Amino acid sequence: MLFIGICGASGSGKSTLAKALKEKLTENKCVILQQDAYYFDHPDLTFEERVQLNYDEPSIFDHDLLLDDVQQLLRGGGISRKSYDYTLHRRNDKPEEIILPKEVVILEGIHCFHDKRLTALMFLKLYMKVEPDICLLRRIERDIIERGRDIEGISAQYRNSVKPMFDKYIQNYVNDADVIVAGGGQNARIVDILAGYVQDELANKGKV
């Protein structure tokens, strides 16, 4: 089993690349985990208080739970599906849905290289390097269409947490990467190259 991490700024194309790789790895070989599903829950806070939390800071994630789930998959066991409701800022796990292990596990997230216990398990670490203005435009479109946000809220969050946390943490994760992916997740040639490399590695492991 191979564990792949895809890191980069919000809007850099992490999810797009993960989905494209999954499509290329035929025969249902791949499962994708999203770090966003592992935000800590805060049921004790009001909605207004939850809105004010910094969702771009590393400590907002339950790294221990994510590590446990990845280790369980790598051991060949199933895990319950973790989920997050972006409109309510609350965890929305689906314990009745079980994620079964596959030959390839992909984790994508803005801080998926933060926990060195996790990166030590990764066979391949990919960093998405995309111009900040492109990332911002993608984020605006996504947050309005998929998460019910308004432009004022998106702008405030970008200024107060997204950009500062990128400058402080996320841009530095490039130093942990094995491969830098330029231009986002829609680069078909890069997807073909990465998928071919992963398939060759799986084939070689099968010969051992």
**Rounded Cα gap, residues 73 and 96, in angstroms:** 17
In sequence order, what DSSP letters do the residues of 81-145 get, joined into one string? EP-EETTTTEE--EEEEEEPP-SEEEEEETTTTT-HHHHTT-SEEEEEE--HHHHHHHHHHHHHH
Q: Is residue 135 part of a domain?
A: yes
Read off the tokens for 25: 């790895």
Q: For residues 172-200, give the mean pLDDT.
A: 89
Gyration radius of the chain over CA positions = 17
Say which residue, 37 or 142, is predicted with more confidence: 37
The H or E element containing residue 4 is: strand 2-8
Q: Is residue 29 part of a domain?
A: yes
Give yes or no for residue 29 having a pLDDT over 80. yes
Structural domain range at position 79: 2-203
Q: What is the pLDDT of residues 81-138, one digit of tens each?
A: 999 998 899 999 999 999 999 999 999 999 999 999 999 999 999 999 877 777 677 7
Q: Is residue 190 part of a domain?
A: yes
Q: Is residue 94 part of a domain?
A: yes
H helix count then E strand count, the chain = 8, 9
Contact 39/84 with Cβ under 8 angstroms?
yes
Q: For residues 198-203, give the mean pLDDT.
A: 92
Contact 144/137 with Cβ under 8 angstroms?
no
Phi, psi at residue 99, to the nearest 5°? Answer: -95, 120
Say which residue, 100 or 145, is predicted with more confidence: 100
Contact 129/181 with Cβ under 8 angstroms?
yes
- List the one residue out of 104, 84, 109 whose CA is nearest residue 15: 109
Contact 126/7 with Cβ under 8 angstroms?
yes
Instruction: Write down the pTM of the prediction.
Output: 0.89
Q: In this predicted structure, what is the pLDDT of residue 27? A: 66
Please tell me the total count of domains within the chain: 1
First CA to last CA across the chain, in angstroms? 13
Q: In this predicted structure, what is the pLDDT of residue 12? A: 86
| Residue 104 belongs to domain with CATH number | 3.40.50.300
Q: Is residue 8 part of a domain?
A: yes
Question: What is the 3 state secondary structure string of 69-89?
Answer: HHHHHHCCCCEEECCEECCCC
pLDDT band at 144 (very low <50, low <70, confident <90, very high): confident
Least confident range from 32-36, 75-79, 147-151, 189-193: namely 147-151
Fill in the DSSP letter of residue 160.
I
Q: Is residue 208 part of a domain?
A: no
Q: In this predicted structure, what is the pLDDT of residue 56? A: 93
Give yes or no for residue 11 having a pLDDT over 60. yes
